Structure 1
Amino acid sequence: MAKEPATAPELRKAAEVSDQEIDATVHAVPADLASESYPLAKGWTLNLVVTLRANTRAAEALTTDKPVWKRHMVRTAILLAHSVTR
């Protein structure tokens, strides 16, 4: 089991989060920015406020009309975030 706080890659390595769950989060986050947190998987929650505050490029990308760049920046922010908690 991954220690807290854990990143998405650490949770993936510990087999607590699947690639499909990370992909689903990447696609769902831009559509659900009103929420402060997003359920990643199996009780793990991603703090969106902290995640986007820590990655200004992702926050900037969310304001554009470039869906591919937006998706890549959100994925990067999610993978780098240390705000995943149980």
Structure 2
Amino acid sequence: MHGFATCRIPTAGELFKAKAVADDQVNAAVDAHRADSGTIAHPNADGYGLDFTAAVAEHGWASSVIASPKSSPSLTRGAILRARAQEV
């Protein structure tokens, strides 16, 4: 499981750094969110996924970035990478 402690759910960025989530999966998540902010994306990585609504709501900065329609793709990507993944 890429060395993550079972008691702590990693962020999407930690999964990305561990190469458990590929760049194209993060890019697809950014594109999906920018097309429809209600989209739930699941870049699966060893049983982890990312539900935008749940993950971003738990992270203050990510919530404010995602809420702004003027956020650039790179800010949206940063917000997604900082969001905590969920076990699926």
Match of 2:13 among 9, 12, 22: 9
> Structure 1, unaligned stretches of length 5 or more?
none
Counting aligned pairs with the same residue, the percent is: 26
- Higher helix share goes to which structure? 1
Runs of 4+ in 1 over 6 A off after TM superposition: none
- What's the TM-score once normalised by structure 2's chain length? 0.66
> Structure 2, unaligned stretches of length 5 or more?
none
What are the residue-to-residue correspondences of 1:54-65 with 2, within 5 Å? 54=59, 55-61=62-68, 63-64=69-70
The answer to whether structure 1 residue 52 and structure 2 residue 52 are counterparts is: no
- What's the TM-score once normalised by structure 1's chain length? 0.67
CA RMSD of aligned residues (A): 2.3
The answer to whether structure 1 residue 20 and structure 2 residue 14 are counterparts is: no
